[in-house]
Amino acid sequence: MTHMRLGRHTVEISRPDKLLFPDDGITKADVAEYYRRVGRYMLPHVRARPLTLQRFPDGLGSEGFVQQQRPRHFPDWVDSCRARRAGGKGEVDHVVANRIAALVYLAGQGTLAFHRWLSRTDRLGCPDRLVFDLDPPDGADFAGVRDAARTVGDFLRELRCEPWCMTTGSSGMHVVVALDRSADFDAVRSVARAAAEVLAARHPDRFTVEQRINKRTGRLYLDTGRNAYGQTAVAPYSLRALPGAPVATPLAWDELKAGALHARRHTLVTVVRRLERQDDPWRGQSRHAVSVAALQRRLKALRE
């Protein structure tokens, strides 16, 4: 048993030597220490948001599970938020991590990855983030994803938005816009879809909004499906449950020029070093929030 003192709370890490990434020699204590060290950077991106946890108590290679419902045995300082299920059938008490101690405690429970809602607990129906999810077509290299992210970012600047980009730690990238929470999920998803359609019409050889895989013909799918009530996106600085312990990593736009950049480029080890050298590229994101109504007007003007 290892004890970590974080503010007013002491977190007990049982079986700290348990290998959670066995091929990489990364233990539960290493994962808990990672979340302790990145906590102050990660917390602004997850605080006051319902979370879905991806837990592997016995490490990769064993059967993990996805958890939405907060267990009753969690300490009372690991907060929760009751939300209706998508589709309206019942409710879920989601975990909410409002302090670094909560991130570390959840790591001690075998949580590797954190997936966040795009809305906050005080207004669950009105998202404050819009996400374009960019994954390479089968057989394509990551250079196409980097180019796609730049193109999406340039287009959002045409709409007078400040875009933000992140590797997902899995296979692709997210491009994100901060919203002012003046519209509901239906309106946000509609404007995201409309923006994707304009991009696909401009670049029909590169992009598609076709959901059927057999209709995409090697083009990158501009996925806006995460912009819906109850959907989640991987949280910035979350580990992914994949060999090598890759991390979903916020980037500065000029980093997309690096030929070595790929979705799993940054890991548990490199992200800690990275944040020792530079601040979070997504710091101050909410100060650039825009309204969906403004986006709709600007899209209409572009189409005309």
Q: What is the pLDDT of residue 24?
A: 97
Per-residue H/E/C for 193-219: HHHHHHHHHHCCCCEECCCCHHHCCCC
SS3 at position 182: coil
At 3, the pLDDT band (50, 70, 90 cuts) reads confident
In a domain, 24, yes or no: yes
Q: What is the pLDDT of residue 38?
A: 98
| Torsion angle (degrees, nearest 10) of CA 115, 8, 275, 132 | 20
Residue ranges making up the domain that contains 56: 2-122+231-243
Looking at the DSSP bridge assignments, the partners of residue 267 are: 246
Per-residue pLDDT tens over the stretch 149-199: 999 999 999 999 999 999 999 999 999 999 999 999 999 999 999 999 999
Q: What is the pLDDT of residue 282?
A: 98
In a domain, 72, yes or no: yes
The CATH number assigned to the domain holding 81 equals 3.90.920.10
Domain count for the chain, please give it: 1
Per-residue pLDDT tens over the stretch 245-272: 999 999 999 999 988 899 999 999 999 9
At 138, the pLDDT band (50, 70, 90 cuts) reads confident
In a domain, 188, yes or no: no
Whether 304 shows a pLDDT value over 90: the answer reads no
Whether 139 shows a pLDDT value over 80: the answer reads no
At 87, the pLDDT band (50, 70, 90 cuts) reads confident
Hey, what amino acid is at 161?
C
Contact by Cβ (8 Å): 185, 227: yes
Q: What is the pLDDT of residue 236?
A: 98
User: What whole-number distance in Å separates Cα of residue 75 and Cα of residue 302?
Assistant: 51
